[in-house]
Amino acid sequence: MNLKKTDKIIAGVAVLVLIVAAIGIIFYTTYEGDESIDETPSTNKYDVTWEFNNKTITFDGYAGTDSTYKESLLINAQSGSVLTGVNVKVDWTDDKTYNLLFILRNQKRGLDTLTAEFTYVGSTETLVSTGEGTDEEVSFSINSKPADDYVEADSMSDVADMIYAEYGDLSDATIDAIVNVERGEKMYRLLRFLLDKGNNFEIEVEYEYYTYSIEQIESEDNDDTEEDVLPSGAAGLGEYRKMVSNGRGWI
């Protein structure tokens, strides 16, 4: 059957109307479906706080007339922490003194002199003591104290990744140590001079560091909480982030 030109136009318009109506139904259905979706933001709010800690470690050594003590002292704070400062002192007492009369008078002869140099990233501090040394110390600033912060993230593990990205490599430092002992005994007392070759000592290092904890902030719109607090002291950041994805950066 041959259609007239006007009939063809009418048929085309009818098809167009049907297409527009179908599109309208699709959009309407989609819009209606979206109204049932929870519009609560997927991100949560967390507080990150840092707590001060300090510990002391020791290194034993010997230095004498024919041997210089040279060592790199590695300081490792807790994994996931931020190392901020190191204090160093040398505990020693001259082991080759004599003369009972001088000892009774609280005096000693032939006292050795110990010189200790400690270097951190180009900065050198020196301790010098004669006869003994326990009180004086040198200090180094390592990293700045991290600031408490407020973070928005999808999960607590994401926050831990952010912390790792920002602070993950700030938990250790190396202090280079050089210690010499100068013999105090005089050569004319030949036997005592030959016996007095050096001294044992102990390097005492106190280091200061900060560990973090993550606490989820309760929201009126989101009562579901995964875990209230994640401390870096429990397993350490290095161990914890093995269970989570790669770091995404600090916000």
What are the pLDDT tens digits along the chain (251 aa)?
555 556 666 666 666 666 766 676 666 655 454 444 455 556 899 999 999 999 999 999 999 878 899 999 999 998 889 999 999 999 998 876 655 544 444 456 668 899 999 999 999 999 999 988 988 999 999 999 999 998 899 988 999 999 988 998 899 999 999 999 988 766 556 556 566 677 899 999 999 999 999 999 876 554 444 445 555 544 444 444 433 323 333 33
- Per-residue confidence (pLDDT) for residue 251, from 0 to 100: 33
Integer CA distances (angstroms), 101 to 96, 108, 201, in order: 15, 9, 26
- Name the β-bridge partners of 129: 114
CA torsion through residues 204, 206, 207, 210, sign: positive
Q: Tally DSSP H helices, then E strands, for the chain.
A: 6, 11
Integer CA distances (angstroms), 154 to 31, 39, 53, 168, 230, in order: 26, 15, 29, 20, 15
Indicate the burial class of 114 (C-beta count within 10 angstroms; 0-12, 13-18, 19 or more).
buried
- Per-residue confidence (pLDDT) for residue 248, from 0 to 100: 31
Q: Which tokens sit at 175?
A: 């202090």
Residue ranges of domains in the chain: 1-37, 44-243
Single out the residue of 206, 72, 54 nearest to residue 145, CA to CA: 54
Cα separation, 205 vs 72, whole angstroms: 12
- Name the β-bridge partners of 59: 203
- Per-residue confidence (pLDDT) for residue 70, from 0 to 100: 97
* SS3 letters across 202-240: EEEEEEEEEEEEEEECCECCECCCCCCEEEHHHHCHHHH
Class of domain 44-243: mainly beta
Question: Residue written as tokens 């609560």?
Answer: 40
**pTM of model > 0.95:** no
